[in-house]
Amino acid sequence: MALYRHNLPHLGADIFACYTGMDTEILFRDGIDLPGFASYPLLLNPQHKNLIRNYYCQLAELAREQNVGLILDSVTWVANRDRGAALGFTPYDLKHFNMAAIDLLVDVRQKMGDLPTVLSGQVGPRGDGYTADDRMTTEQAEHYHAEQIQVYSQTEVDFISGFTLCYPEEASGIVRAATKYKLPVAISFTVETDGRLPTGMSVKDAIEQVDDETYGKAIYFLINCAHPEHLLNTFSDGVWLQRLRGVVVNASRCSHAELNDSETLDDGDPNELGMQVAKLRQQFPHFTILGGCCGSNLRHMKRILEQAKVA
């Protein structure tokens, strides 16, 4: 880690909360339309920006209450050139959205005092987060994602998080681009109900391929946007498993296709979800980054953190 000047307390043995379920909460519970499932345009509206700020502050207070650390992820999962263009935004617009999203995180952290908090510049897939259509090579992905990551390098972000990735080449490209700009980077793959990536590749093979292509530069890997039951057959012994540092789970058992087609929010059972994540933590004590993705809210986060601490 000598390459990086950043403070990364979430690489230690303590639990850190990670919440990426804000988008579904804003869409289904707050009733705010999110074209392209993009939350970053809300930063243009002071009322909506304050809504996002309140989500962050509530999460921070929960982390303080539960005596855990906190990862704050920017609302920029789809703030890249292709998906931005589909909403009518130029690269110039996206640069300012990405910078404004990090500025908001910085402001929230400053108000949190001594709570261990790290700021994540979130990067998502170029295309749909649930399919691996129109795949890029590692070199193409590096060039593509460098545009967003270069912007982050001008901010106070602590590290880059590549979330809901469907295939290893895109993940490798993100790692290479972040390394180029001397930013630590974590990678999170998503899996289908069978515990495999949308391509059919195992998580083990995907992690090993990314490490091979990037000389192990990712600081860790996660799985997100999957229910704990989808992960039961995912994990096996091996060095690769130590590279996996946690899970950010869906509240729903639905497949990605079912979630895409759903017009209502399936928020599952927060108590059951907490117990299932705690069971994973009990089996794999090195899983220290834990939280909720689609369909989850602070009720789910509270139960996850409460039960994981005693697992």
The predicted structure's pLDDT at residue 252: 86
The CATH superfamily assigned to 14-309 is: Homocysteine-binding-like domain (3.20.20.330)
Please state the rounded mean pLDDT for residues 91-108: 98
The predicted structure's pLDDT at residue 1: 34
For 292, the enclosing helix (H) or strand (E) is: strand 289-292
| Interval 221-265: pLDDT, tens | 999 999 999 998 788 888 899 999 999 999 988 787 777 766 777
| Interval 16-74: pLDDT, tens | 999 999 999 999 999 999 999 999 999 999 999 999 999 999 999 999 999 999 999 99
CB neighbour burial string for 175-192, b if at least 16 within 10 angstroms, e if fewer: bbbbbeeebbbbbbbbbb
Return the ∠ at Cα 269 (arms to 268 and 271), rounded to 5°. Answer: 155
So where are the chain's domains? Answer: 14-309
**pLDDT of 4 above 50:** no
Contact indicator for 298, 66 with CB cutoff of 8 Å: no
**pLDDT of 5 above 60:** no
57 annotated ligand-binding residue: no
In this predicted model, which residue has the larger pLDDT, 100 or 4?
A: 100
Sign of torsion over alpha carbons 151, 154, 156, 160: positive
Tokens, residue 305: 């953190």
CB neighbour burial string for 85-112, b if at least 16 within 10 angstroms, e if fewer: eeeebeeebbbebbbbbbebbeebbeeb
Q: Do strands 159-165 and 69-73 pair parallel, antiparallel, or not at all (unpaired)? A: unpaired
**pLDDT of 2 above 50:** no
| Interval 202-223: pLDDT, tens | 999 999 999 999 999 999 999 9
- Going by C-alpha positions, the residue among 72, 75, 89 that lies closest to residue 42 is 75
The predicted structure's pLDDT at residue 261: 66
**Secondary structure E strands in 153-227:** 159-165, 185-189, 220-224
The predicted structure's pLDDT at residue 237: 80
| Cα gap 118→73, rounded to integer Å | 9
| Interval 103-135: pLDDT, tens | 999 999 999 889 999 999 999 999 987 788 889
293 annotated ligand-binding residue: yes
Which residues, other chains included, contact 40 with Cβ-Cβ below 8 Å and sequence gap of 6+? Answer: 75, 76, 78, 79, 97, 98, 101
The predicted structure's pLDDT at residue 6: 65
DSSP summary character for residue 197:
-
In this predicted model, which residue has the larger pLDDT, 311 or 5?
A: 311
The predicted structure's pLDDT at residue 242: 95
| Interval 132-178: pLDDT, tens | 888 999 999 999 999 999 999 999 999 999 999 999 999 999 999 99
Tokens, residue 303: 């139960």
Amino acid present at 151: V
